[in-house]
Amino acid sequence: MGIVCKACRIYCVTIHDYCLMDNHYHLLIENELENLSLFMRQINANYAIYFNKKYRRTGHLWQGRYSSWYIMGEAYLYRTIRYIEHNPIKAKMAAEIREYPYTLGNLLLRGEEVPPCASDSMLIRQYDSKTLADFLDEVLDDEEIKMIEEERTKP
């Protein structure tokens, strides 16, 4: 998260939720400026440099451009948070949110320290630990996943 937090400081971005997976990541962000492409370029370039040095490789790390969607509406926002938090479960990397250490929800539910770039997250501001646990334990059903996909395709 160090790379992400550094980019957040530079580009005035707040992280509201995240999930770091082995081959991709999800960020729910709020940016004050119209600088999403600069923010994402900073993260992806710095991570590629780190990864290539660590594994003694060269070349591109990412395939294609990142995907992004505006969140327009509270229902879509809350479904998106649950989608992000349940991603490791869907990928069969964990059986429950508390088992996968690379999400904001996991840190909050376990009472662990939150990265500075997520310290103003709505998950922290709006939920106590019991309410957050109840909210995140709700599994997305097929209809909600369909609704998320429909929201993403709206012009």
29-86 tens-digit pLDDT: 999 898 999 999 999 999 989 989 999 999 888 778 889 999 988 989 999 999 999 9
Q: Which fold has domain 2-153?
A: Alpha-Beta Plaits (3.30.70)
* φ, ψ of residue 62 in degrees (nearest 5): -100, 145
Alpha carbons 116 and 54: distance in angstroms, whole number: 25
Residue 112 backbone zone (phi > 0: left; psi -120 to 50: alpha; other: beta): beta
- Going by the DSSP 8-state scheme, the letter that residue 22 receives in this structure is S
Average pLDDT over residues 108-125: 94
Alpha carbons 150 and 42: distance in angstroms, whole number: 29
- Above 90 in pLDDT, residue 14? yes
- Bridge partners, 15 (sequence order): 29
Alpha carbons 103 and 16: distance in angstroms, whole number: 11
Q: Domain residue spans in the chain?
A: 2-153
78-94 tens-digit pLDDT: 999 999 999 999 999 99
What is the amino acid identity at position 46? N
The pTM score is 0.88
- Chain centroid to Cα 35, Å, comes to 18
